[in-house]
Chain A
């Protein structure tokens, strides 16, 4: 009792918020655990992979203020490397394959980052786009990617050599675990002192420089982290669908992940997850409806509407409402 009375109202509020957040996490994890019994597991896995991809992207845009238009390159690199290794070396277990794919994306991210963070804003976006295009052409022509045909029949194998991932249910829980790990990394990065510095750089870079922060190193680390997580998403996706193809490397994919993040809410933790869920469901539903031919027009319209009048995204708008009514 005496302990609580010592707290200021502001601290109380913060503590309540933290409790509420933890409760929310628990509820969401519970939903994630029962979801495959309600919805189609392969669809859920697709949503989770893209959600992770969007979270990785959001780490860069939402918290470091860097718009990358080349994130497809990391998704595809993770996918191709994992797919190639698992198909060529049957002894390799899936978690090692995914690790290798992620590492490849990290290396590529370091290369991209070293070049791209020399410029800011619009330039940064265009440099990443052009670099990703370079990677796309390499993938078209490299024999190991299967070019236009893609890589097929990647074995799911057995996790740690013990648990077979052939069934969709087992695969789902593995993907869910990967997603939680990825999400936790993003969450930790954002709430750590490192994340605070990133936000400071986003708000006012010259000020951060004058405070003595090595801004470039912070940005590079954010870029590499984001690239690695995008690679992790791509690697996991390859294992789920047992294939890797050029679609993942195309610049349209870089555009799609922007849309997911924007629609869900830039700079919010759950925004990209919600955005990915909405976009993937929309694509799946539309593709099989009479409106199927209009998918890109509809996505484009959402883009325009989001930018013009809905910039906080779904989660951002909800947060606004919550703040207004429950403060």
Chain B
């Protein structure tokens, strides 16, 4: 058997695959953060809560309305995105003229409220969301058993990430968005409705988080605390990537998934720590992050 650093090749390949799948979640979440940050300059601390709300909305939709997985994948991001737009319109806009740190604090408060409220109604043990029938079972790849659902997650996340990148880099809407990031006063002067653009952007970023939440529902127990621990890791991913670039967020997300996956084989004790270590190293060499512009 071929061995790579004392690990059979088959196992090694399997671990890379799993790392990539985890990385897809990091990519989706850090992409949403990057989009929001680009235009609003706010670190959305409620991003984990929105991810969690996405998973919960899918679960409740299934339990009370019989909403199936595919519809949930479509509707839940719209629903949570709508909630996000309300938050932007009635809260974040009121403090937009202030130091951006206030945005971080406000969304932190919102995250506490969302998490605490759901804990009171649903407890913390979480519930399981059934894997949709079309995606049950798995492929035998020869080197590993790959559940179909995980393959789907990777595919769906990559498609959404690329789609987002396309919208932002190649469409008129995206051009407005990028221009708004650079100079919103000038955009306003050109007749672009910047406040509306901001509301849409926040809604879209939050919808990405909710989409990731629905994707995660069949994988992990749906519980009110599922978002907050993940969020901190995603923050580190964002710092490593630098906040300037959309593609940077996606690539760093996938890359960090791989790094974490390999750590789980060679030194599992450090699996939760390794991303933070990478972050420290990157900060020492490139303070603006791998893809970031010098601030």
Contacts and interface: CB of A to CB of B under 8 A. Distances in A.
Contacts of B197: none
B167 interface: no
From B98, B109, B115, residue with most partner A Cβ within 10 Å = B109
Contact of A307 (B37, B102, B280): B102
Given A120-B295, A293-B120, A308 B43 contact: no
Contacts of B109: 299-304, 306-307
A123 interface: yes
Interface in A124-141: 125-127, 129-131, 133-134, 137-138, 141
Interface stretch (B127-135, B234-242, B247-255): B234-242
A141 B269 contact: yes
A271 B238 CA distance: 33
Interface residues of B, number: 45
A297 interface: yes
Contacts of A251: 232
Interface stretch (B15-23, B140-148, B209-217, B270-278): B270-278
Interface residues of A, number: 38
B239 A308 contact: no
Nearest to A302: B109
A300 B110 contact: yes
A294 interface: yes
B60 interface: no
**Which label, helix, strand, loop or mixed, suits the secondary structure of the B interface?**
helix
A306 B94 CA distance: 13
A67 interface: yes
A255 interface: yes
A118 interface: yes
Contact of A126 (B43, B112, B114): B43
B280 A67 contact: no
B276 A134 contact: yes
Contacts of B288: 119
Interface string B48-91: 00000000000000000000000000000000000000000001
Contacts of A118: 283, 287
Contacts, number: 116
Nearest to B33: A126
Contact of B108 (A121, A126, A141, A303): A303
Interface string A108-122: 000000010011111
B108 A255 contact: yes
Interface in A209-245: none
B111 interface: yes
Given A126-B238, A307-B106, A308-B91, A296 B115 contact: yes
Given A134-B277, A297-B112, A297-B117, A126 B106 contact: no
B138 interface: no
A122 B180 CA distance: 19
A311 interface: yes
A56 interface: no
B232 A129 contact: yes
B189 interface: no
The 10 closest A-B pairs by CB, nearest first: A303-B109, A300-B112, A296-B116, A297-B116, A300-B113, A134-B276, A304-B109, A118-B287, A307-B106, A130-B236
Interface of A: 67, 115, 118-123, 125-127, 129-131, 133-134, 137-138, 141, 251, 255, 258, 262, 293-297, 299-304, 306-308, 311
